Structure 1
Amino acid sequence: MRLSIIIPCYNMELYLKECVDSLLDQQMTETECEIIIVNDESKDATLKIAQDYSNKHSNIHIIDKKNAGVGAARNSGYDLAQGEYIYFLDPDDYVAEGTLPVLLQIANNNNLDILTFKTKSVVEKRYPVSDNLGDTLNTLIIEDGISYLAHRKHQNEIWWYLIKREFIKNTGIRFIEGKWMEDAILTAELFCQAKRMAHTNLDVHRYRILPTSAMRNKSPEHYNKVIYDNANAAHVFDKLIATVPKEHENAHACIKRLKTRQQSFVFFLMVRLMKSDISVSEIPAMLSDFEKIDAYPLKKFLGEDYHGIGYSCLVFVFNRKPLINPFIKMFRSFYSLTQ
């Protein structure tokens, strides 16, 4: 088995068909590629749609489990996977036709632990065809993950790279369960462990922008949980940064980038706090905890990865404790009038 594709699903009846159809349109046999659909106790027709596909295709497997969140769903699929490489794909996304075999050839020929590739954001218009499939692709730069992080801005999400199954198994790294930001944490952890990884400019993945997606859920309970889970991610990154070997030639640049990402969790936590119902009285304790791990003040956030007038203005306010509470209270008053 060359590839295992793991799709965690919760109430995805509107999009699962397009996702699976794109995987069946990859010019791969059923012995080369398996699709593992993890139904996380969906309340709609997601499970039935998955079962219909499974009845027609021997390489489509279903895990039907109690709802425990996307991290647990992905771990369940990973535990069942048999492919040489693993790809975690979201059910509301899809991939361009005929691109996965090319990725596998590149990864296999170069014995890569991780291969990253290009993604395109989409709304309603479909983009089933790759922009550059069949063209001459970039010359691969193969390096370890610490050097990769040092040289490139990376995405938090899990769907823009393939992972060698033997590699991730040997690391013992798994998704955290019960918390958001699970893919941001796993991505950085895996990259720091990789010995051989590269980026290809092949246009592969389609990221569907949905107003109903988990990270855009505006219910107070969910919104507040994302805030606290951002705080957890900042603390996890403190432990991760400590594992980067200081003697590595690219250690300084890698740590700088990881610190930027760590402080981004704090920055976006503060942005979400502005729109939340969490009491401003909780903020001083949060900031005190962030100060202990050098995640606050946000002196390492602005730079080549995050820049612009909007970021700069908010960082100016967030870095001055006396301004934070009145600014958030004023913003909440204005925000409530516009809703």
Structure 2
Amino acid sequence: MKPFLSIVVPVYNVEAYIEKCLRSVYNQDLSPVQFEVIVVNDGTKDKSLEICEVLQKEFTDLKIISQENKGLSGARNTGLSHAKGDYVWFVDSDDWLPANCLKQIVDTLKIKSPDLLWLGHSVVHNGEIIRTYIPAPIDEPVAGDEFFAHHLQGLYYIWKFIYSREFLSNNNLFFYEGLLYEDLEFTPRALEVAQRCITLTDSFYFYLMREGSIVNKVKAKNVENRFFILENHYKRYKETTSSNLYRNALLYTCIESFAGTIKMAARSGIKLSHSSRSLWKLLKTAEKKSEINYPYDKLLAINLPLYHRVYGVLARTYKLLFK
């Protein structure tokens, strides 16, 4: 029997987390024949693979695919290429699912037949839930431009989405390999072509905020990759024939993410490139001609280098005083 849902779990150096993740995936009220679990061993150097192999003896239908390290995007692409389900969910290996959540998810997918389903999630830090994000209800499926503009809330995380495998295949949607913040790159691209988007108004995912994760360990590559993504988004904004609703949402994303990237660079003492200054000038010009009015910091709008220096000093001083 073909599974209805494929759950893809990329694994790289997560020996402290992977067992909890996989056990949560199997601790469900859904018949095992309705879903498959695909672990992609992305050249892990710790005991993660050994742990998965031990669990495979308990969960005999667990699939393990090993490859040389390609990064998170490459591992997701590999998992997607092996998936057989009608829908695909990319679950990060240091996170976990609530018990008995899959039946409600699968029932909703079968009834609504969306291109994508967007889920609520909870953020866990030091063993406690510190935030929970619940999507607004959508009575009937909406197109990707409307979802992008009115529902996304700047939460691009891949694991918040469950995608139709046919939708991904028909639109040649794969992850850009070797790139950090692939969520920010992939999600707007998928929403440009999506026609049926729905939500589930509850928390179906536990996201672990940990010190060693990409979002908490900023280097020059992090900033460079984000600027690269935003430059591509701005190019799409200029060239796409999609609706003005989509174009405005994409421009808003560029401006919002640009401001966040500047703060990221400033807090970490990373210098700005010439291309980042050029991009900001383009974004300011585009915003003046668009239908949106983004309330970015006035100092940033007037003088980008000065903003970067001032914010950096303030952020690092705050760290010294209150860390």
Structure 1, unaligned runs of 5 or more: none
Q: Is 1:274 matched up with 2:266?
A: yes
Q: Does the CA contact (< 8 Å) of 1:143 and 1:198 recur in 2?
A: yes
3-state DSSP of counterpart to 2:149 = helix
The structure 2 residue matched to 1:96, chosen from 95, 98, 112, is 98
Cα distance 1:297–1:267, how it changes in 2: closer, same or farther (>3 A)?
A: farther
The structure 1 residue matched to 2:310, chosen from 327, 330, 335, is 327
1:125 shift after superposition: 3.7
Q: Is 1:230 matched up with 2:247?
A: no
3-state DSSP of counterpart to 1:94 = coil
Cα distance 1:57–1:296, how it changes in 2: closer, same or farther (>3 A)?
A: farther
Paired letter, 2:205 = H
The aligned residue for residue 106 of structure 1 is: 108
The aligned residue for residue 202 of structure 1 is: 202
% same residue: 23
Q: Is 1:43 matched up with 2:10?
A: no
Output one character per residue of 1:13-58: Cα deviation in whole Å (capped at 9) or x when no partner. 1111111111101123332211111122222211111111223323
The structure 2 residue matched to 1:287, chosen from 263, 272, 277, is 277
- How far apart in 2 are the matches of 1:264 and 1:76? 31
3-state DSSP of counterpart to 1:115 = strand
Q: Does the CA contact (< 8 Å) of 1:11 and 1:46 recur in 2?
A: yes
1:138 shift after superposition: 5.1
The aligned residue for residue 3 of structure 1 is: 5
1:264 shift after superposition: 2.3
Paired letter, 1:30 = P
Q: Does the CA contact (< 8 Å) of 1:234 and 1:266 recur in 2?
A: yes
Paired letter, 2:157 = E
Paired letter, 2:88 = I
- How far apart in 2 are the matches of 1:116 and 1:205? 11
Output one character per residue of 1:154-210: Cα deviation in whole Å (capped at 9) or x when no partner. 411011121110110111011111111211221111122111111120321111111
TM score, norm. by length of structure 1:
0.82
- How far apart in 1 are the matches of 2:96 and 2:145? 29
- How far apart in 1 are the matches of 2:141 and 2:315? 48
1:335 shift after superposition: 7.3
Paired letter, 2:257 = F
Structure 2, unaligned runs of 5 or more: none
Paired letter, 1:179 = L
- What is the RMSD of the two structures over their aligned residues, measured on CA atoms? 3.1
- How far apart in 2 are the matches of 1:238 and 1:131? 28
The structure 1 residue matched to 2:253, chosen from 252, 258, 261, is 261
Q: Does the CA contact (< 8 Å) of 2:43 and 2:68 recur in 1?
A: yes
Cα distance 1:291–1:36, how it changes in 2: closer, same or farther (>3 A)?
A: same
Q: Does the CA contact (< 8 Å) of 1:263 and 1:296 recur in 2?
A: no
Q: Does the CA contact (< 8 Å) of 1:30 and 1:58 recur in 2?
A: no
> Where does 1:7-18 land on structure 2 (aligned, <5 Å)?
7-18=9-20
- How far apart in 1 are the matches of 2:103 and 2:200? 13
1:139 shift after superposition: 6.1
Cα distance 1:14–1:86, how it changes in 2: closer, same or farther (>3 A)?
A: same
Paired letter, 2:302 = R
- How far apart in 1 are the matches of 2:158 and 2:277? 29
- How far apart in 2 are the matches of 1:44 and 1:199? 37
Paired letter, 1:170 = N
Cα distance 1:336–1:116, how it changes in 2: closer, same or farther (>3 A)?
A: closer
The aligned residue for residue 29 of structure 1 is: 31
- How far apart in 2 are the matches of 1:194 and 1:68? 27
Output one character per residue of 1:44-87: Cα deviation in whole Å (capped at 9) or x when no partner. 21111111122332321112222221111111111111111000
Paired letter, 2:266 = M
- How far apart in 2 are the matches of 1:69 and 1:28? 31
- How far apart in 1 are the matches of 2:137 and 2:315? 48
> Where does 1:131-170 land on structure 2 (aligned, <5 Å)?
140-154=139-153, 155-170=155-170
3-state DSSP of counterpart to 2:29 = coil
Output one character per residue of 1:135-159: Cα deviation in whole Å (capped at 9) or x when no partner. xx95633111112112223411011
Cα distance 1:97–1:298, how it changes in 2: closer, same or farther (>3 A)?
A: same
Paired letter, 2:186 = L
The structure 2 residue matched to 1:241, chosen from 198, 217, 237, is 237
Paired letter, 2:20 = E
Q: Which moved more, 1:175-184 or 1:262-271?
A: 262-271
Paired letter, 1:148 = F
The aligned residue for residue 185 of structure 1 is: 185
Paired letter, 1:181 = Y
* Matched positions, count: 314
- How far apart in 2 are the matches of 1:210 and 1:183? 18
- How far apart in 1 are the matches of 2:226 and 2:76? 20
